[in-house]
Structure 1
Amino acid sequence: MPASPNPLKKNLAAGDMQIGLWLNLGDPSATEIAAAAGFDWCLIDGEHAPYDPVTIQNQLRAMMAYDSPPIVRVPIGEDWVIKQALDLGAQSLLVPMVDTADHARQMVAATRYAPEGRRGMGAMVARASGWGRVADYNDNINDEICLIVQAETRLAMQNLDEIAAVEGVDCVFIGPADLSADMGHRGNPGHPDVKAAIADGVAKIRTAGKAAGILHYDSTNFAYYRDLGVTFLGVGSEASLLRAAVHQTLLSARKAVSD
């Protein structure tokens, strides 16, 4: 039995719009609710949220019963972190702060077994291979890894043509929050200079034949990013949705009893 096909990788290559949600709470029940909603992907945020290898593995388990492919954002783009996330069972990764094509190539190599890369051979005693039950995992998994690299600095944007051209990179995700801070507009990703840089970046990514991604919390801008050519669209997080819902519920209740 080969490694499971990766629908996210296939859909991104086909140019299909993929709408997803960030998972920041670290709670399997919240993750199940998000996955059951039918998002095209859900991202376990190992960079900014309270995750460790055990909780990431449990989040992956929580999503197994649903058709929403999981992505793991690793905390840093280093080989040992990549290897660990893949052995836990992730097939799609988001790697933050990739500023150069050389770093992107290193991340591709970290996700592939030799001779295509340098991923360590340990998955046959880990969850990724069904604890050794997927006999052909090692032979097939290289073709099913979806690698998304994150461009979120001025340096990355300067090197975007070369980063997007790296073979094995499936998608380049532009991080508007860090990019705006690096450009001197911290907390204002909607600044005209930042928006112009993002638009130029998306065009470069698409010219290279790769999927372009972004995270945005304002639904009034979703069509704008679609028209730019974004096909990997994060539309919020379970934490932001919960915050908004509980706040609105309280306001509605207070209004109802005060009328």
Structure 2
Amino acid sequence: MSAAEIDGFADRIRQHRGGMISAWIGIPDATLANHLAQEAFDTVVLDMQHGMWDMPSAANAVAQVRLAGKPALARIPVGDFASASRLLDAGASGIIAPMINSAEDAQAFVKSTKYPPLGERSWGPSLALNHTGLSADDYLKNANALTVAIAMIETRAALEAIDGILGVAGIDGIFIGPSDLSIALSNGDQVAPNAAEIDSAMQHAVSRCRAHGKFACAFAGDGERAGELLKFGFDLVIAGAETAQLRSGARRAINAARRIASA
């Protein structure tokens, strides 16, 4: 797969060309990222907010995912916009920013992820140039289109400000965090990412994205829920974290061995 095809991710998601499914990795191991990228995921997300990635390990994982022929995204820690630009320099195709609660938060996010005239991203994309094969001039001209800035909607304030957030030039799409959103909407009473109230909020978010001509992404705890969210109209969904998939696979193998041995 060519660099142009890999970086076609941004164009594909903006044009809503088929629901995409992504891996989600918090364990800071670039080899693990490469292994999951061999599967039929459309992209791989490195979770730096709740996962254990640091910048060197994340940059290595971006390279390993690219080596496998897939684009890599990264979720930064809350407010860590300096890391956002560094991850783009390392060759990430997009950044997910948590806790974007207002248009002002969205503008600060864009400032670090887009070159002028949209933002003020500083120049230094040495690894991105290597991964894309573009000249410096061509990368500068195309980087804003080749990479995506994704604002997370996961609080009551963010849901109320969704139109303002989507209206910020340089915000390419949103990502719904249903667990945090359920905590917020229940006033801290429960973690219920699959509740009917969350379904309604997510469908509302998709409709607002369509009205603004932008894309919608969401986290799902497993493949079944991911399929439901694709039916809601989400453009990209997570089909569970790697830790859950690892333990589920181990559990199936153990149970199968016990069952056959005792038969």
Asked if these proteins are the same fold (TM beyond 0.5), I'd say: yes
Aligned to 1:56: 58
Classify the secondary structure of the residue corresponding to 2:136. Answer: coil
Classify the secondary structure of the residue corresponding to 1:230. Answer: coil
Determine the C-alpha separation between the residues in 2 that align with 1:71 and 1:90: 6
Aligned to 2:12: 11
**TM-score, normalization: structure 2?**
0.89
Matched-pair contact (CA < 8 Å) for 1:213–1:230: yes
Determine the C-alpha separation between the residues in 1 that align with 2:178 and 2:92: 25
Determine the C-alpha separation between the residues in 1 that align with 2:227 and 2:91: 33
Matched-pair contact (CA < 8 Å) for 2:149–2:171: yes
Structure 1 residue 186 corresponds to structure 2 residue 187: no
Matched-pair contact (CA < 8 Å) for 1:38–1:67: no
Aligned to 1:219: 223
- 1:140 and 1:218, CA in 2 relative to 1: closer, same or farther beyond 3 A? closer
> Which residues of structure 2 form unaligned runs of 5+?
none
Aligned to 1:130: 130
Aligned to 1:168: 170
Pairing partner for 2:161 from 156, 159, 162: 159
Matched-pair contact (CA < 8 Å) for 1:203–1:228: no
Structure 1 position 55, deviation (Å): 0.2
Classify the secondary structure of the residue corresponding to 1:138. Answer: helix
Matched-pair contact (CA < 8 Å) for 1:112–1:119: yes
Structure 1 position 133, deviation (Å): 8.2
Classify the secondary structure of the residue corresponding to 1:166. Answer: coil
- 1:13 and 1:115, CA in 2 relative to 1: closer, same or farther beyond 3 A? closer
Determine the C-alpha separation between the residues in 2 that align with 1:135 and 1:201: 37
Matched-pair contact (CA < 8 Å) for 1:95–1:150: yes
Aligned to 2:251: 247
Q: Displaced runs of 4+ in structure 1, greater than 6 A?
A: none
Determine the C-alpha separation between the residues in 2 that align with 1:90 and 1:222: 23
Determine the C-alpha separation between the residues in 1 that align with 2:67 and 2:83: 26
Aligned to 1:145: 147
Classify the secondary structure of the residue corresponding to 1:50. Answer: coil
Determine the C-alpha separation between the residues in 2 that align with 1:139 and 1:19: 29
Count, aligned residues: 255
Structure 1 position 239, deviation (Å): 1.9
C-alpha distance after superposition, 1:123-169 (max 9, x if no partner): 3xx42233998432334322312111110000000011121222222
> Which residues of structure 1 form unaligned runs of 5+?
none
- Calculate percent identity across the aligned residue pairs: 27
Classify the secondary structure of the residue corresponding to 2:23. Answer: strand
